[in-house]
Amino acid sequence: MPSTMSTSRLLATLATLLPALALPLASQAADEGLRVATFSKNSSGWTGPGGVGGASFINKKSGNEAPSLQTKFEDFGITFSEQKASWTGDLKTGKAFEIGLDVNVHDIVFFHDSVTRDLAVEIRDYDNPPEGYPYTSVWYIVGTLSPANKGWQHYSVTVADPAATTLPQGWGGYGAEDPVTYEPKLPPGRTFANVIAGADEIVFTTLIPGWVYGFTYFNVGVDNLFIRQITPQ
């Protein structure tokens, strides 16, 4: 399970994330467009842990509504990713957007115990990665996955200002590390806006930057992964 690298780091993380829980999301926005993966015909370009057809598969009998993309996978964490320009391109328009998904947690098991894991949406830019890092990214914890939450749960976050040069409340950066707190952060010269504008991949992941995990078994389904451009009200 996640390691506690330092008390100061944990407190800093809580101070960053707790205020974000109260942020209103879709209630402040009106639809302008929608891109959604329902898995009715195929994976829509989304790849699950172990690859679609391997540890991840289209479950035609379960979904919100059926079918869905389900994974049964044991690793440090799970990640669902999309690299199609038709999805990442929606983040480069400079328009406000909402991004999210529905999740059904059947099981998360660590050393025979049922556990929870945070789930983040991460937007990655692979161009000119910082030394020692595979990419630069911005990320936001959309919720906590728990086997105790029965049935499909909806998680999302709204980005009202994609042109923001500083990280919006609740968002984190990846590509460098604070030498004092060990918190991941954006590298010099990178901003929230230019990471969004350079988006190469969208992921939903339980591997939160800066944390360390042990081998964990996941049986999780996802459905209705979406991006919609919005007009903030």
Please give the pLDDT value at position 4.
Answer: 35
Reported as a pLDDT band with limits 50, 70 and 90, residue 32 is low
Please give the pLDDT value at position 59.
Answer: 94
CATH code, domain carrying 55: 2.60.120.260
In a domain, 2, yes or no: no
In a domain, 65, yes or no: yes
Model confidence over 167-210: pLDDT tens digits? 999 999 999 999 999 999 999 999 999 999 999 999 999 999 99
Q: Is the pLDDT of residue 161 over 70?
A: yes
In a domain, 1, yes or no: no
Q: Which of 31-35, 38-42, 96-100 has the highest mean pLDDT?
A: 96-100
Enclosing H/E stretch for 195: helix 192-197
Segment 55-73 shows an average pLDDT of: 94
Please give the pLDDT value at position 5.
Answer: 38
Cis peptide bond upstream of 122, omega within 30? no
Q: Is the pLDDT of residue 10 over 60?
A: no
Maximum distance among all Cα pairs of the chain, rounded to whole angstroms: 49
Q: How many domains does the chain have?
A: 1
Segment 128-154 shows an average pLDDT of: 96
Q: Give the pTM.
A: 0.84
Segment 76-90 shows an average pLDDT of: 92
Please, which residues have CB within 8 angstroms of residue 27's CB and are 6 or more apart in sequence?
Answer: none
Range of the domain at 212: 7-232
